[in-house]
Structure 1
Amino acid sequence: MEQHDKKIVLFPKWKEKIEARAFQALRNKRFEEALENLNTLLDYQVSNQEIDIAKLTCLIELGRQREAELLCEELLTKKDDHYFAYVHIYATLLFQANKYEGVAELIEDVFEDENTIPEPYLSQLTTLRSLNSTLLKQQTDQQLTVTLKQLKEAVEKQDDVMQWHLVNHLNDSDISLYNSIFLEMLKDEEVNPIVKTVIISLLQANTYDELIEIVKFSDKMYINPNDFPYMTDHPFYQKIKKELETLEQDNPSLHALADQLLYRYFFVVYPFINEDMDISLLKEAIIYLVSASFMDEEALNQTKIKESLALYIEDLLYYEKVYFSLMKE
C-alpha cells in the first residue's frame, strides 16, 4: 500500500473504525484482514505499541518470519519505553526459529548493561539466555560433527575443493574435535598444500600447543603451532614485503600485484621457509613476473634473464600453478 502524505490524517471516527476492524479480525484469527487494516493505520502515521505488536503478531502467524524480524529491528531502533518488551519478543521470535546465534548476539548486547533491564524482562531474558546457550552449543556441536564427517569423506575422495571449503568454514570454531584428522591431513602427501596452510592457521588460532608433523612437496618438518609465527608474521615474509615497498610510490599497481604474488607464494610453501634464499633475487623474480603482465610478447622474448634469476622465476610460476589449481575452483 502506498504511503500517504504525512499531512493527511484520519478523522477520529475513521481511525476508530479501522482500529476496531483490525483488532476484531485479529481476535478472530483473520490475520490477512487484520494486517491490511493495521497497514492502513500505519500508512496514516497512526502508530502505538498495541498496533505495532498486533502487526508483529499477524506477520508471525502468517509465517512471514523475515518481515517479522525486520519489524522487530525497526522497533528496537526507537529506543522508547517499550524497548525491552521488543527485545524479549525479538529474542523469542529468533529462538522459536532455531536462530540461537542471533538470540545470543541480541541478548549479550542487552546484558552489557544488565542493571538497566527492568523486571519482568530481566528474569525472562535470563531464563532465555541460559536455555539458548545450551541449545546453541548443541546446534554448534551437531554442525561440527556433520562437517567432520564431510571432511573425512572429502579426504577419502581426494576432493581438494571440498576440503578447502570445509576447513575455511571452521574459522572461529572450537576445532578440538578435528585435531586428529588435521594431524593426519598434515602428513598426507595427497592433501593440497594450501589446505594444509589453512589447517596450520586454525591450530595456531586455537593455541594448539604440541609438536606436529607437516609434509609438503616431499619435505617434512616439525613445528609447535603455538610458538611458530603466523604466515604473514614470519620474519622472512616481512623482510621481502619491506623490500617490495620501494615499488609502492613509483608504481602502486605494480606493488599491489607483487604483494599478492608474494602472499600466494608463501601461502603454498608455508611453513617451509628457505631462509637461505637470496632476497634480492626473489624480489627481482617477483617484479619480473608482475611486470611481464604489462609487456607484449616481443618485449618478453627480447628480455634476457640470468640463470640464477630464472630458477626463482621457475619456482614462483610452479607455486602459482599450485595455488590457482585450487583457487580457480
Structure 2
Amino acid sequence: MSNTNNIILFPTLRNELEKAERESFELIHQQDYEQALEKLKFLLTHQISTYEIHISKLICLIKLNQLTDAEQFCENLLTDYNDSHYYDYLDYYIMILYETNKFPYIIDLINAEEKRSTIPDNFRKKFRDLYRLAYQMNSARSDELIAELHGAVKEDNHHRQWYIINKWKELNIDPPEMFLNLLKEKEIHPAIKTQIIELLIDSNFKSSVMVEKFGENHSIELKKLQKVSEHPIYLNTLQQLQNLEQENPTLYIQVKELLYQFSYIQYPKFYPTSDIIDVKNALILLGNENLSLPYGEMTNKNKVHDYVDLIKLSNELYLTICLD
C-alpha cells in the first residue's frame, strides 16, 4: 500500500484504496487515461500521496491534453525544494511549459534554478538544451511581433498595435528600438504610448525618451518616472475620493475608473498638484452625470468644466482601444 501520511484507515477503505491504486496503474497501461485519472484523484483526495501516483496523474493529464491542470499540479509539487523527486517534477513542469509555448517562463525558471541550487548532472544538460530551445523560440517570436507591428503601424491599426505590444510583454525581453520611435509618432494612439512607457519602466530602461502627446513633446527621464497607478498625483487624487467609497460605492467605482482612464491617456503629463481638488470635482460631476444623479454647487466652475471636457475626451480615447 502506498504512503498514507500516517492516516489511520478502516479495513474496508484501505482495501478500496489499494484496489484503486492497482487499477489506476493498469488503466494507464491500457491507455485509458480518463478512468485512470479518476482513480488517482480518488487516492489523492484520501491523501494517498506517492511519487508513483504523482507521476501517474501527470501522465494522465498530459495525455488528455489537460495541460493547465498539469501545470498547476506541478506547481503544487514544486513547493517543497527538499522533496527527493523535486527535479523529476521540475522536468515535467518544464516540458509542460514548452508544450504550451511559455518560453519566457522556461528561461526565467531555469535561470532561477541555476542560481538557487546545483542542478543534478542527470538533469543539467537536458535543462540547458531546453533553455536554448526556449530562447531561440522566444527570439523568433520577437522577430515575428516586430514584423507584425510594422504592418499594423503602416495600416494605422491601433487595435492590432495594442494587441501586439501586449503580446510582447509576455516575451519578457527588452523592448526594441522601434518602441522608442513610436513614442515620437503623432499617429500612434496615446494609450499605446502609455503602454510602451510602462513597458520600458518594467524593463528598467534608464535613458531619457522623447514622447509626443496631443501636439506636445516631452523629454522624460524614465528612471524618475512612476507608472500611472503609482504616480503621486494620481494617488493623491484617489485619496481625495476615498470618502465616496463609503457614501456611494457605485459612484466611487465610476469616478475611480474615470480617473485611471484620464490619467492613462494623458500620461506621462499630469495636472498640477494645485488642481487636484478641481479634478476631483470634475470626476464627481461627470460620475453623477453618468449615473443620472444630482450634484451640488462647486467653486472654480470654469476650470472644473474644462477638466470635465478633458476627462470625457480621455475616456472616449481609452475606451476605443483598451476595452475593445
TM-score class, shorter-chain normalisation, is 0.7 to 0.9
| Pair 1:83-2:85 in alignment | yes
Give the aligned partner of residue 320 of structure 2.
Answer: 325
Partner of residue 140 from structure 2, selected from 136, 139, 142: 142
The residue identity in structure 2 corresponding to 1:218 is G
How far does residue 156 in structure 1 lie from its aligned partner after superposition? 0.8
Give the aligned partner of residue 153 of structure 1.
Answer: 151
Give the aligned partner of residue 203 of structure 2.
Answer: 206
Give the aligned partner of residue 220 of structure 1.
Answer: 217
SS in 1 for 2:205: coil
Partner of residue 313 from structure 1, selected from 296, 308, 311: 308
Distance 1:131 1:259 in 2: 48
Give the aligned partner of residue 287 of structure 1.
Answer: 284
Closer, same or farther in 2 for the Cα pair 1:91/1:226, shift >3 Å? same
Q: Deviations over 1:246-275 (max 9, x none)?
A: 323333332232222111100000112232
- Indicate if the aligned counterparts of 1:72 and 1:90 stay in contact, CA closer than 8 A: no
- Indicate if the aligned counterparts of 2:24 and 2:39 stay in contact, CA closer than 8 A: yes
Q: Deviations over 1:144-177 (max 9, x none)?
A: 1111111111111111111111112233645535
Which deviates further from its counterpart, 226-235 or 97-106? Answer: 97-106
How far does residue 93 in structure 1 lie from its aligned partner after superposition? 4.8
How far does residue 235 in structure 1 lie from its aligned partner after superposition? 2.8
Aligned length: 304
Q: Deviations over 1:293-320 (max 9, x none)?
A: 3326xx68x9899433322211211111
Partner of residue 168 from structure 1, selected from 158, 166, 183: 166
The residue identity in structure 2 corresponding to 1:152 is H
SS in 1 for 2:277: helix
The residue identity in structure 2 corresponding to 1:311 is D
Give the aligned partner of residue 126 of structure 1.
Answer: 124
How far does residue 84 in structure 1 lie from its aligned partner after superposition? 4.8
Closer, same or farther in 2 for the Cα pair 1:255/1:75, shift >3 Å? closer
The residue identity in structure 2 corresponding to 1:83 is H
* Structure 2: tracts of 5 or more residues without a match: 1-11
The residue identity in structure 2 corresponding to 1:290 is G
Higher RCO (CA-CA < 8 Å; seq separation 6+): 2
User: Once superposed, what is the RMSD of the aligned Cα atoms?
Assistant: 4.5
How far does residue 282 in structure 1 lie from its aligned partner after superposition? 1.5
Closer, same or farther in 2 for the Cα pair 1:123/1:263, shift >3 Å? same
- Percent identical among aligned pairs is 21
Distance 1:208 1:11 in 2: 58
How far does residue 287 in structure 1 lie from its aligned partner after superposition? 0.6
Closer, same or farther in 2 for the Cα pair 1:240/1:59, shift >3 Å? closer
Distance 2:233 2:24 in 1: 72
Matches within 5 A, 1:94-109: 94=96, 97=99, 101=103
TM-score by length of 1: 0.71
